[in-house]
């Protein structure tokens, strides 16, 4: 089965408060000590300024999520995570594509994100859709002391 066919078996939908526990389990598994707090994620999911997505497999298991915050003509990719056992199937790319489409619908002209300097796979994904490095935030991810690479994408 091709990666596109495997990604097609996953349904992407808007996340809601009922997804919080599954999102937080994946958040903690993906980001460890630098994971967001549940209350922060709850506010993000409910915010009028954003849209959070849930990627759900055929068995109903949340295998990925992503979030966008857009205010005016600026936006931020807040987060993208895919379960370890679901990686390499195009789910992260599909989530990102939907975030980009949502940003366009909301009139975002400049889209930003931070990505761990030690995550070349994510950086490559972002670069493949037009994000470019514009700076570094030293020791941004705590407590691990990992730098964040700041990236920007202009509307197309």
Residues with a known catalytic role: 114, 126
Distance CA 73, CA 45 (A): 20
By C-alpha distance, which of 7, 43, 29 is closest to 15? 43
Structure tokens at 82: 């895919």
- Using an 8 Å Cβ cutoff, are 11 and 55 in contact? yes
Which residues are bridge partners to 69 per DSSP? 50, 76
By C-alpha distance, which of 79, 52, 53 is closest to 148? 79
């Amino acid at each position: 089965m091709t990666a596109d066919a495997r990604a097609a078996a996953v349904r992407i939908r808007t996340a809601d408060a009922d997804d919080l526990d599954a999102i937080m389990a994946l958040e903690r598994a993906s980001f460890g000590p630098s994971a967001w707090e549940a209350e922060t994620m709850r506010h993000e999911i409910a915010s009028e300024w954003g849209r959070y997505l849930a990627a759900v497999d055929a068995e109903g298991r949340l295998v990925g999520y992503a979030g966008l915050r857009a205010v005016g003509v600026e936006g931020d990719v807040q987060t993208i995570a895919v379960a370890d056992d679901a990686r390499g199937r195009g789910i992260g790319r599909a989530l990102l594509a939907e975030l980009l489409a949502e940003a366009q619908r909301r009139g975002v002209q400049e889209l930003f994100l931070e990505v761990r300097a030690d995550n070349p796979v994510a950086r490559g994904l972002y670069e493949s859709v037009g994000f470019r490095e514009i700076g570094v935030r030293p020791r941004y991810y705590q407590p691990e002391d990992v730098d964040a690479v700041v990236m920007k994408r202009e509307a197309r």
